Amino acid sequence: MRKLIVSFLLLAAGVSCRKPLFDAMPRWMHEQDRFAREERQEEAGAPEPVSGPDTPGERLPDEYLTAFQFPEGVPWRDSVVTGAELVLYKNGEEQLRLPVDGTPEPDRHRVVEGNLWTDAFENGQMVVACNGREQFSYPGEELYRGFLVLDGRVHTLGQRPGQGGFSYRIDGKEVYASSVGTVLCVPPDPDWPGGAFSLDGNDVYFTYALPVKQAESLGWEYHVMRGDELVQTLRAGEVDLLYDVRVFEGDVYRCERLSASAGSVRLLRGDTAEPLGFLDAETPHACRLVPDDKRLIVKGYSIVSGMQPYRYWYRAGSHNLYADSGALPPLALYRDGDGTVAAVLLHPVDEQRVNAITLDKRKLELPPGPYRMTSSRCADFRAGRFSAALTAADGNTHQVLHATIDSVWVDTYTFNGRFTSLQIQ
């Protein structure tokens, strides 16, 4: 992506990028909202709320969808092509269309509070824009591992490709940097909207790794940062593998493995450690910390030696909050605030093709496919609704699947291209 020019679909030129731009909600969303309200009112015997400045009616959270769209006939699946447009939808209605100069890169855009933020490297400069309008720029290329808009200021955590190191910036101005550090983050991560950033109150935290020479090998030392201030150091050699580190409710959490034994995997909250209770024959993978009310829990999957199915789970210490199994690991797990879990399961051969989607361990009926979900950013689970953006493996008819505990419905989109993200905000 290079120069970004706002299309005619962008609304008033003076709209601020610090607040949601678009307020329209299509008819089907109003109907879903009305039916949900009426059902609750019938049960409670309460009158329907009247919308107005003093008594606002309830409404569903907004759903934002992004996609790369190409001119008709362009074989984007077969080769790297140019000429794309980046399109933003809100609740099924197109809101914004931006031309993409160069090869489209899905990790260079994100939706924050209803606004489409993009970054591009052009003419030796990083250029950050909101809804197509440049906000700031600075020399050198960075790949963002963290992106956060807080009190009108843009926090970025950019890893430098090739040369190594990273920079933490606010509105493009460097606040902290390391010439050799590596940001601890496995993007994309739908559980943490700021990516590698953890927002705790008004404090911004992140963790990075430094290479450290040991007796016979190269190890890693981990630094937990609050802005530009060092909070905690995890020395090289203290752990065999560090899966994840986050700061939440004032405590530093980490999930780590002390040795090659799966039985040594544990969750720490400050200095308090609790084993996750794996068998020695069980190998855990992709252990990630996830917010759960006033604590962090762990999600991931594991394989038991001699058994084919993968086990995927959410755990609070050795206690399983959720557990299921399948023939392949999930592309991603999503958990709503009430603890309900959705899992997107992969195809045995095509690792981007969706084989099944489960909600509360119940397999959902998928529209006739096949479909692919190219990133875990293409689904979200909020306020009782799970949604997944499914790109057709062939053709131009794509689907967005919506599901609650009681119902499943789909919206159809027709364009030559693919979905890149879906967020419920």
pLDDT single digits (tens) 79-125: 889 999 999 999 999 999 999 989 999 999 999 999 999 999 999 99
147/115 same-domain check: no
The residue out of 219, 238, 257 marking a domain boundary is: 238
The residue out of 218, 238, 258 marking a domain boundary is: 238
pLDDT at 46 over 70: no
pLDDT, residue 57, reads 47
115/151 same-domain check: no
pLDDT at 19 over 90: no
pLDDT at 402 over 60: yes
Residues 82/103, Cβ–Cβ less than 8 Å: yes
163/116 same-domain check: no
Residue 406, in any domain of the structure = no
116/209 same-domain check: no
Report pLDDT digits (tens) over 252-289. 999 999 887 767 899 999 999 999 988 878 889 999 99
Residue 111, in any domain of the structure = yes
Report pLDDT digits (tens) over 217-241. 778 899 999 999 999 998 877 788 8
**What single letter denotes the amino acid at residue 118?**
T
**Cα 105 from Cα 109, distance rounded (Å):** 8
Report pLDDT digits (tens) over 129-172. 999 999 999 999 999 999 999 999 999 999 999 878 999 999 99
Query: Based on the structure, what is the number of domains in the chain?
Result: 2
Residues 409/368, Cβ–Cβ less than 8 Å: no
Residue 219, in any domain of the structure = yes
**Cα 160 from Cα 165, distance rounded (Å):** 6
pLDDT, residue 58, reads 54
110/160 same-domain check: no
Residue 285, in any domain of the structure = no
Residue 261, in any domain of the structure = no
The residue out of 195, 223, 238 marking a domain boundary is: 238
Residue 357, in any domain of the structure = no
Residue 378, in any domain of the structure = no
Phi, psi of 404 (to 5 degrees): -120, 180
Distance set, CA 114 to CA 1, 150, 399 (Å): 20, 14, 21
113/181 same-domain check: no
Residues 183/327, Cβ–Cβ less than 8 Å: no
pLDDT, residue 24, reads 33
Q: Helix or strand or coil: residue 38? A: helix
Element (H or E) spanning 412, and its range? strand 408-414
pLDDT, residue 249, reads 95
Residue 258, in any domain of the structure = no
**Partner residues linked to 300 by β-bridges:** 313
**Interval 27-46 mean pLDDT:** 36
Higher pLDDT, 8 or 401: 401
Q: What angle do CA 289, 195, 76 make, to 5 degrees?
A: 120
Range of the domain at 91: 1-45+56-120
How many Cα atoms are found within 13 Å in the side-chain-facing hemisphere of 181?
A: 21
pLDDT, residue 352, reads 75
pLDDT, residue 187, reads 66
Close Cβ partners of 296 (under 8 Å, ≥ 6 residues apart):
246, 248, 253, 267, 269, 289, 290
Nearest one of 20, 97, 31 to 62, comparing CA atoms: 20
**Cα 120 from Cα 113, distance rounded (Å):** 20
**Cα 323 from Cα 330, distance rounded (Å):** 12
pTM value?
Answer: 0.85
pLDDT band (50, 70, 90) for residue 29: very low
**Cα 235 from Cα 206, distance rounded (Å):** 17
161/95 same-domain check: no
